[in-house]
Amino acid sequence: MTELYVALQRLLPQFLLGRVVHRLARVRTPWFKDLCIRGFTRLFPVNLAEAAHPVPSGYATFNAFFTRALQPGARPQDPDPDAITCPADGRVQQAGTLDDGRLLQAKGMTYTAAELLGDADSAAPFRDGWFLTVYLAPQDYHRVHAPRAGTLTDMLYVPGARLSVNESTAAAVPGLFARNERLVCQFASPDGPFAMVLVGALNVASISTTWAGEVLPCEPRRLRRWHYAGHAGITVGRGDEIGCFNLGSTVILLLPPGFAPADGGLAPGQPLRVGQRVAVRQ
């Protein structure tokens, strides 16, 4: 059954579907956007009590609702200033130590940090480091936050497919996260670099960052790199917003050696929230 599901995804016009979703999500006609928002909240268990504005009247488009801010204080950061905190709401897909530069995708299936990040040089600092893969379901809060303080050094757009990133697809498609379209954001910090990878997926119509605005969709669809090192510098504090998805997808955090999971580890399927402690320095 899973093989058929994956085959059907490959047959879909993934990028045409993304353009249609992108346009429909930005329709400002009140009755249409209200219909979309109400239908979505009936289909998925969205926590409307956390939304910063009334639903649906407080949102001009479905996209504005989907990428909504939360009420102040809804996602407090862990009180330990040295803790690495979760960058997104969702569930643990995988987490653990990189094995000679390889990340676990699913049982018996791995891929390399070099494939994920787009080149071997970028992957070298994470060879024996630690990673966390967070899957964002449609009902989740879809803004992404910095897990620690740092300075942006590079951003890389890597073209690829837009296959679903849910558990069943991840277990069936080798190297899924390194095959899909993605945005790689690399940061420097006083005690080592870290990387955030925002992975595109089926129906993901756009990915935005706070410093560059909407980056996906990217035309033409070719490798593109932005260098920020040596400029005035784009700095983020722990917990600062760095971007958002429309619609849901996956965030992968890479840390260098010297970090370990907090509170006894993270299990696949475990729910996570922005600001929750996920790793500590050893």
Contact 273, 75 (CB under 8 A): yes
Looking from the CA of 151 toward its CB, the CA atoms found within 13 Å total 13
Q: State the Cα–Cα distance between residues 68 and 224, nearest whole angstrom.
A: 28
Say whether 249 is catalytic. yes
Q: Which of 78, 89, 140, 154 is catalytic?
A: 89
- Residues for the chain: how many in total? 282
Of the residues 122, 206, 208, 249, only one is catalytic, namely 249
Q: Is 57 a catalytic residue?
A: no
Cβ 90 vs Cβ 140: under 8 Å: yes
59 close to 37: Cβ distance less than 8 angstroms: yes
Active-site choice (122, 145, 164, 208): 145
Task: Output the CA torsion sign for 175, 178, 181, 182.
Answer: positive
Residues identified as active-site: 89, 145, 249
